[in-house]
Amino acid sequence: MPIKVQSDLPAKEILENENIFVMDENRAMHQDIRPLQVCILNLMPVKQDTELQLLRALSNTPLQVDVTFLMVTSHVSLNTSANHLNRFYTTFAQIKNKRFDGLIITGAPVEDIAFEEVDYWQEVCAIMDWAEEHVTSTLHICWGAQAGFYHYYGIQKRMLSEKLFGIYSHKVQNRKVPLVRGFDDYFLAPHSRHTETSAADIHNCDRITVLAESGEAGVFLAYAENGRKVFVNGHPEYDRYTLDVEYKRDLGKGLPIHIPRNYYPDDDPAQKPNLQWRAHCNNLYTNWLNYYVYQATPYEW
């Protein structure tokens, strides 16, 4: 898939070096098609890493995607420069009168804070409410999924006794749903979180359909309103070394952390981690874009 981004976005050169087709504005203007308009509300602290991971995940269909990066204004980012945000990000006030084919709401490092105490909670709620009328399908990731479960259905998150951290196996449910088309019966995906939305609470909500679940990590994938809302309780977009960086960061800070489950060969952090989830990540994003964005969105809003 050609991903359309600004020509000077740092992720563009990295993706091109990975042989991923990235298109700048000039070339896109000469293609006589309507690209999918996808907005990414990036709440992660190191925004460049998440940009790269999500753009890579969106790059595997023939569809052209025009990406808009969105930031909150009710929080000052300490890990991404103001220059980067000013050059590549927009605000909700600037796009609230526009319509988008897809919206991605990322995770955020605020799990141990009550939703209402997060400084940008009201802004995120306003964006989720806006998406009901202005977006064809919204993909909620990790904390973004927990926020969606709470905001839409009143399902509260809860603290875990220890960090859920590593690569976990999940079983596909409801195989006839297009979102899991092409998935194996069991597949692996990364998790990195201190909280969870109870699997029982999700199953007890008749407005939500569970599509993949783990005995260890709980519900991984669910959807509602025939795919207008999609919830991913993990990080399939993570690259090979993301958990490695998190593990060594927490060790360096003296935080309680165990070796990521099923990640390093022989549980040896000196060894190169195995990349075991990329194919299903690509499949998930391709299915979302094709069946719930491209096939469902009108040609003209």
Give yes or no: 133 in active site. Answer: no
Listed residue (260, 224, 255, 257) closest to 244, CA to CA: 260
Give yes or no: 280 in active site. Answer: no
Phi/psi zone of residue 108: left (φ > 0), alpha (ψ -120 to 50 degrees), beta?
beta
pLDDT at res. 148: 98
CA 57/CA 228 separation, integer angstroms: 19
Amino acid type, 101:
D
pLDDT at res. 299: 58
Structure tokens at 217: 């990590």
Mean pLDDT of successive 10-residue stretches along the chain, which has 301 residues: 59 59 51 80 93 89 88 85 90 97 96 95 98 97 98 97 97 94 97 97 98 97 97 96 96 94 97 96 95 81 55
pLDDT at res. 127: 98
Out of 142, 191, 213, 280, pick the active-site residue. Answer: 142
Listed residue (80, 42, 36, 41) closest to 59, CA to CA: 36
Element (H, E) at 158: strand 157-172
Place of tokens 């999940």: 170
Give yes or no: 235 in active site. Answer: yes
Contact yes or no for 226/246 (Cβ under 8 A)? no
Out of 140, 191, 235, 280, pick the active-site residue. Answer: 235
pLDDT at res. 16: 60
CA 283/CA 167 separation, integer angstroms: 17
Task: Write out pLDDT tens, residues 29-73.
Answer: 444 567 899 999 999 988 999 999 999 899 877 788 999 999 999
Contact yes or no for 46/15 (Cβ under 8 A)? no
Amino acid type, 127:
I
pLDDT at res. 1: 45
170 - beta bridge partners?
A: 187
CA 166/CA 153 separation, integer angstroms: 28
Q: What is the CA radius of gyration of the chain?
A: 18
pLDDT at res. 78: 74
Task: Write out pLDDT tens, residues 244-262.
Answer: 999 999 999 999 999 999 9
Q: Tell me the torsion sign for CA atoms 79, 87, 299, 124.
A: positive
